[in-house]
Amino acid sequence: MAEKKRYNIRISGLGGQGVVTTAHILGATMDNAGNYASLVPFFGSEKRMAPVEAYVRASTEPIYEVGEVVYPDIIMIYHSQVITHGKSYTMPFYTGLKPNSLIIINTDHDVLAEEDLKVLRDLNAKVVQFDATALALKVAGTELATNMAMMGMLLGLTKLVTEEHIEAAVKERFLGTSFVASGGTAALDSAIEKKFKKKEQLLAKNMEVINKTFEMADSVDMTTDELVVNFEI
């Protein structure tokens, strides 16, 4: 995939997988790097396991558009049912995909039908499949870090930003501002400090996941004709 200054990203998943959180962290990451981003979440009134999409535009130059990403350069699939069961607002999942683009799929098995593969081959796409949920469980001990694994793979493959920019954005998301004593009782101060330390531990685990997928992404050759790249977790 040729080097680009801008990526239009469509993220599809199910409620509870951190799709919208990913979009927010991606936006903050681009800002930390001195770049630009716009993001729009899209979901209905349903909650967990209902379709969710988020649209992110990331660029080294100012962005003037907002709204749905109709023609993505990158598609991220957080759950295989987006493809196999049509749990998505955009079907088929590759609708609008530009030539020479990237698809990242969280799955523990091959989910693409022959028809899908033909379309993606004609578009000269690159598909990266790995079990992001299993990796999150293995490294962080929780499937809630699945979105961190997906985001790490995306940023590792595109080299949009450095790991330092990502860490700053993740820290901002989970820790906010630095710990400040409450000014109240010692017991309250102790409770707040313990909560802050737990958040620091959460940050560290999430960064472990991101660093691992960054490392995995380095092994992917984006210039070859290989359509699908699979990782064993």
- Give the pLDDT confidence of 185-225 residue by residue, as tens digits: 555 455 545 655 788 888 899 999 999 999 999 999 988 99
Helix (H) or strand (E) holding 151: helix 146-158
Tally of domains within the chain: 1
- 203 within a domain of the structure (yes/no): no
> Max Cα separation, the chain?
66
| Residue 8 pLDDT exceeds 80 | yes
* pLDDT, tens digit (0-9, with 9 covering 90-100), for 38-50: 999 887 655 667 8
CB distance 23 to 88 below 8 Å? no
Give the C-alpha separation, 41 to 115, whole Å: 29
- 189 within a domain of the structure (yes/no): no
- Cis preceding-peptide flag for 99 (omega within 30 of 0): no
- 177 within a domain of the structure (yes/no): no
Q: Which domain holds residue 37?
A: 6-162+209-230
- pLDDT at position 39 is 92
- 169 within a domain of the structure (yes/no): no
CB distance 56 to 74 below 8 Å? no
**Which of 104-118, 131-145, 192-206 is least confident?**
192-206
| pLDDT confidence band for 2 (50 / 70 / 90) | very low
As a whole-number percent, the residues of the chain with pLDDT over 70 amount to: 88
- pLDDT at position 185 is 54
Q: How many Cα neighbours within 13 Å face the side chain of 12?
A: 29
Mean pLDDT, residues 101-120 taken together:
96
- pLDDT at position 72 is 97
Helix (H) or strand (E) holding 20: helix 19-32
**Which of 37-46, 69-78, 112-121 is least confident?**
37-46
CATH of the domain at 226: 3.40.920.10
Mean pLDDT, residues 45-68 taken together:
85
Mean pLDDT, residues 15-35 taken together:
92
- 1 within a domain of the structure (yes/no): no
- pLDDT at position 186 is 56
Give the C-alpha separation, 53 to 77, whole Å: 10
Alpha carbon 105 to its chain's center: 10
- 185 within a domain of the structure (yes/no): no
Mean pLDDT, residues 151-159 taken together:
94
Give the C-alpha separation, 219 to 175, whole Å: 32
Give the C-alpha separation, 55 to 206, whole Å: 22
- 142 within a domain of the structure (yes/no): yes
Helix (H) or strand (E) holding 140: helix 132-140
> Cβ neighbours of residue 193 under 8 Å, at least 6 residues apart?
179, 181
* pLDDT, tens digit (0-9, with 9 covering 90-100), for 167-180: 999 988 877 754 44
